[in-house]
Amino acid sequence: MTETLKKQSLSFYLFFIAILFVPLIGFFSYAISYNTSFFVYLSSGLLAIVVLLMPLRYRFQKKQAEVGLLIQNLHEKENLVRAHIDQEEFAIDSIKEKIINFSQLKGLTEKLSMSIYLEDTSKTLSAEVNRLFGDKDTTIILYLFHSKTGELGISSSQKGQMRVNIKSKQGDVFDQWIVKAMQPLLIEDVRSDYRFDVDKIESEDSRQIRSLISVPLMVGHKALGILRIDSPQPKFFATEDLRFLTTIGDLGAVAIENAQLYEQVELLAIKDDLTGLYLRRYLFDRLPEEISRQMRQNNNLSLLMFDIDKFKQYNDKFGHIAGDIVLRTLGSILTNFFNQPGSLVCRYGGEEFAVLLPNCTKKQAAELAEEIRNIIAEQTIILRREKTKVTVSIGVASLPKDARIKDELIYKADNALYEAKNKGRNRVCSAS
């Protein structure tokens, strides 16, 4: 538009000059050719024209200034429009990026909601973070705090599509910084970050680390762990990456807490509050699977049934609280003794206990039963400041020698237990 105004102004100027000078040229030619005295009139005419041109010149300059100001205003408006267009384009790009991020977060949330156990949740979270951020050189590490000790430990780690072995099992200096500060961490280049000692980092971990982003996993004020991504390339991560990982960490923390709560509830459903041992229904659920596995592998499976001798007398003499002490003590002894992989110690009901022993022959089970019987008989228990001792009767049955199905195995072990009680208690009897 400004170019158009300039062209219009120039056209008007040229047109005005043409109107003035064409008659003058004609008069000048007439004076030279026919009448030289006409120059006096021509000079007077020129003087009159000059006098007439002065206000026209003033008006022209004024008009030219107005056009210049208009052009300047138009330039300013053009710049404002361009700035507004750039701002709108930036906003559109930002909205597009948010839509993509929300779509990715939606997929992450759906996958996390399908994982109810902690192990599955950890693997899903690491895999999704690897899909969103990772490449062949990027390492994803998920740390979780131990529920009892509070120590930091690796729950999942992978580099690309492969699991990776991390030397610092409880975290390095970066992870310890997160534990202390409980704030997100972005390091564009480890070698230029004054907060950390490069030599110490390289001595602690053989992996090459140049840049990383890491966020604490928190629900409210409760810290659950750390989600971290590191790369051997400097300036691999930016502030936007850290912001996006923080959002992922918030979603992951909720999923991890839900998984932990689910496992706690599930554990409460299969464990006895008093002794901490598994309940009978868990034994019933586990037995068919264990029997099937042992039969496929042609191995032995033994079952021990325990009963505390004359337990009612302890309750009558010392009270039910003392009876609870006896049950807890016996549960602790059994747990510490039968600590081999695969062994299962249960509170069968009341004062009865059961122990499942995979890969154990009937003879080996009877020897273990005799050994634990002696240990229990020698254990001193203080009830109401009085030293006392308890004894147990034990029944032993084995698969496939005594039974081939769950109900038959339990029946044979239970019968052997009652045989031990009928023969005077404080003894071990095997199924016949």
- Give the whole-angstrom CA distance, residue 295 versus residue 291: 6
- Give the whole-angstrom CA distance, residue 185 versus residue 231: 14
* 279 beta partners: 347
**Helix axes 280-296 and 406-422, enclosed angle (nearest 10):** 120
User: Which residues, 6 or more positions from 31, have their beta carbon under 8 angstroms from its beta carbon?
Assistant: 38, 39, 42
User: Of these residues, 128, 257, 290, 351, which one is catalytic?
Assistant: 351
**What tokens does 414 get?**
């239970």
- Give the whole-angstrom CA distance, residue 198 versus residue 188: 14
User: Which residues, 6 or more positions from 288, have their beta carbon under 8 angstroms from its beta carbon?
Assistant: 406
Q: Please give the sequence-ordered ranges of beta strands (E in DSSP) within 54-203, or none if there are none.
A: 139-145, 152-159, 162-163, 185-187
Determine whether 351 is an active site residue: yes
Q: What secondary structure letter does DSSP report for 277? A: P
CB 397 within 8 A of CB 301: no
Give catalytic residue positions.
Answer: 351
